[in-house]
Amino acid sequence: MRVAFLGLGIMGHSMATNLVKAGHEVTVWNRTPGKIVEGAAIAPTPAAAAQGAEVVWMCVADTDAVEQVLFGADGVEQSLTQGMIVADSSTISPFSTVKFAERVRSKGADYVDAPMTGSKIGAANGTLIFMVGGNEASIDRIGPLFAAMGKKYFRMGDVGKGQATKLAMNLQIALIFEGFAEALTLATKLGVDPQKLLALIDATMVKSGVVEYKGPFILHRDFTPNFPLRLMHKDILLALEAAKEARVKLPGLETVEEIYEMATEDGNRDLDYAATLTLLEKWAGVQVKSEAA
């Protein structure tokens, strides 16, 4: 398919690369010039990239970024044509998504929200899992693109439901990780070797994908960003905003949001969200390190 890929950050760069590898005809655009994807053409603006494309795929930072890419100067809107599909893999507001989709659809194109999970490694290996909102026919049409970038997609309902689901998913990741980080901090302070704690967790029902994925990074004190703290913080704020609008109380997430706020002030925004642990360590006066490491 002829695909315009907009946004070559941590996730987008690998996703566009996998589209090229799968044989699609890809044109890329990134706000800051200079980023390239081998085998893809480069366009100077979103509108130029979208020109003649069957599918425009976005993966940019946040709601404002998607709005600018779509409707700003030289935005995608200028090149929308009948039958074109705009897909968005950024994690943004479900309410704004519905508004963006209405405006795109008024020009004869269709809109699919397709945020994903799987982090940097899933994007690189083409094993992302997408949660998708939109018309079934459009989602079917872009099936080959999902297959090139990921291993599975779930249709969650109409436009906006992909984003709503993503917020519900990241809310859990943030809370599960916080529980894990607090357990590590307490256990270490009480003299338990964290590596032994990890082995125990793995053998019990406390085991989880989050713990399995993050455990080794923590034991190696590797906080380089797989999923940056600033983006998880953005998703927490989006979930709290959606909850407020829907009159839902999320007291656990509200508390965790404060931790992200403090971790940001502590200079950790560009590290992995696992760096929220360092705040707990500071308060406890302890560092989570294995005796064996």
**Residue closest to ligand NA7 (Cβ):** 9
Can you give the C-alpha Rg of the chain in angstroms? 20
Distance in Å, CB of 9 to ligand NA7, minimum: 2
- Residue 34 or 191: which CB sits closer to ligand NA7? 34
Beta bridge partners of 26: 3
Q: Which residue has the tokens 């190696």?
A: 220
- Spatial separation of the C-alpha atoms in residues 64 and 72, rounded to whole Å: 10
- Residue 79 or 90: which CB sits closer to ligand NA7? 90
Amino acid making up residue 56: V
- Residue 91 or 165: which CB sits closer to ligand NA7? 91
Distance in Å, CB of 125 to ligand NA7, minimum: 15
Tell me the catalytic residues: 166
Distance in Å, CB of 228 to ligand NA7, minimum: 6
Q: Which long-range contacts (CB under 8 A, 24 or more apart) does 93-99 make?
A: 93/63, 93/163, 93/238, 93/241, 93/242, 94/160, 94/161, 94/163, 94/164, 94/167, 94/242, 95/160, 95/242, 95/245, 96/63, 96/66, 96/67, 97/133, 97/159, 97/160, 97/162, 97/163, 98/159, 98/160
- Would you tell me which residues interact with ligand NA7 (CB under 6 A)? 7-12, 30-32, 59-62, 64-65, 68-69, 89-91, 231
Distance in Å, CB of 206 to ligand NA7, minimum: 27
- Residue 4 or 288: which CB sits closer to ligand NA7? 4
Q: Which helix (H) or strand (E) holds 74?
A: none
